Chain A
Amino acid sequence: MTLLGQFALWMAFLLSIYVAAFAFIPSWRQRPDAGVVVERSSYAIAIVLWVAAVSLWKALFAHDFNVEYVASYTSRNLPDYYVFAALWAGQKGSLLFWALVLASFGAIAQAVTSRRYAMLLPTVGGVTSTVVLFFLAVMLLSGSGNPFERLAFTPADGNGLNPQLQNPGMVIHPPLLYLGYISITIPFAFAIAALVTGRVDTGWIHAIRRWTLLSWLFLSAGITLGMWWAYVELGWGGYWAWDPVENASFLPWLTMSAFLHSVMIQEKRGMLKRWNLGLVIGSFLLSIFGTFITRSGVIASVHSFTQSNIGAFFVGFLVLTAFVSFSLLYLRWPALEPESQLDSLASREAAFLFNNLLLVGIAFSVLWGTIFPILSEAVRGTKITVGPPFFNQVNIPLGLGLLALTGIGPLIAWRQTSTSNLRRQFILPVSTGILVTVVLLALGVRDFYAMMTFGLAGFVVGTVTQEFYRGVRARQRMHGEHPVLAFGRLITRNRRRYGGYLVHIAMVVYFVAFAGMAFTRTREATLSVGDTATIGSPFGHEYALKFLGISQYQAFNRQVSVASMEVTRNGKKLGIMTSEKRQHVDSFGKPTFQPSTEVGIRSDLREDLYVVYAGSVDGTERSTFRITVNPLVWWVWAGGVFLIIGGLITMWPSAWNANLPPIRDRAPAAPQPAAVG
Chain B
Amino acid sequence: MNRRTLLAALLAPAALERLGAQTQTPKTGAADPLRDPASVGQLRAEANPLDNNEVVKGIERRLKCTCGCNLDIFTCRTTDFTCTYSPELHKEVIALFQAGQTADDIVAAFVAKHGEQILLAPPARGFNILGYVLPTVAVVLGAATLGFVLVRRHRLRLETQTATPGRSAGGSDLTPEQQANLDRALKDLDA
Contact = CB atoms under 8 A, between A and B. Distances in A.
Interface of A: 234-238, 241, 243-244, 268, 300-302, 340-345, 350, 353-354, 357-358, 361, 364-365, 368-369, 372, 376, 379-380, 382-390, 393-394, 397-398, 413-415, 474, 497, 522-526, 528-531, 548-550, 552, 559-561, 566, 581, 583, 594-595, 597, 612, 614-624, 626, 676-677
Nearest to B28: A530
A364 B132 contact: no
Contacts of B81: 595, 597, 614-615
A676 B182 contact: yes
B186 interface: yes
Interface string B85-114: 000000000000000000000000000000
Contacts of A583: 38-41
A178 to B, nearest CB: 23
A300 B29 CA distance: 43
A595 B37 CA distance: 11
B143 interface: yes
B121 A620 contact: no
Contacts of A413: 186, 190
Contacts of A616: 34, 37, 40, 43-44
Contacts of A241: 70-71
B154 interface: yes
Nearest to B83: A594
A243 B191 CA distance: 44
Contacts, number: 252
A599 to B, nearest CB: 10
Given A390-B132, A531-B29, 14 more contacts: A237-B75, A342-B153, A343-B157, A361-B138, A361-B139, A368-B134, A379-B127, A413-B186, A413-B190, A529-B27, A530-B26, A561-B36, A614-B44, A617-B46
A376 B122 contact: yes
27 contacts: A237-B78, A343-B170, A344-B154, A357-B139, A368-B134, A369-B135, A380-B127, A382-B117, A384-B117, A388-B121, A390-B122, A398-B135, A414-B186, A415-B170, A415-B186, A523-B52, A548-B26, A552-B36, A566-B24, A581-B41, A583-B40, A614-B81, A615-B41, A617-B46, A618-B31, A620-B33, A620-B34
B51 A524 contact: yes
Most buried by B among A235, A342, A389, A614: A614
Contacts of B79: 234-237, 597, 612
Interface string B60-88: 01101000111110010011011000000
6 tightest Cβ-Cβ pairs between the two chains A and B: A365-B135, A530-B28, A619-B37, A361-B139, A387-B120, A595-B41
Interface string B6-30: 0000000000000000001111111
Contact of B30 (A365, A414, A523, A529): A529
A372 B119 CA distance: 14
A105 to B, nearest CB: 31
A369 B25 CA distance: 52
A531 to B, nearest CB: 7
Interface of B: 24-47, 51-52, 57, 61-62, 64, 68-72, 75, 78-79, 81-82, 115-122, 126-128, 131-132, 134-136, 138-139, 142-143, 146-147, 149-151, 153-154, 157, 170-172, 174, 181-183, 185-186, 188-191
A254 to B, nearest CB: 12
Most buried by A among B32, B43, B44, B151: B44
A529 B120 contact: no
Contacts of A234: 79
A595 B82 contact: yes
Contacts of A522: 57, 78
A581 B44 contact: no
Contact of B78 (A354, A530, A614): A614
Contact of B44 (A386, A397, A623): A623
Nearest to A238: B75
A365 to B, nearest CB: 3
Nearest to B64: A385
A387 B191 contact: no
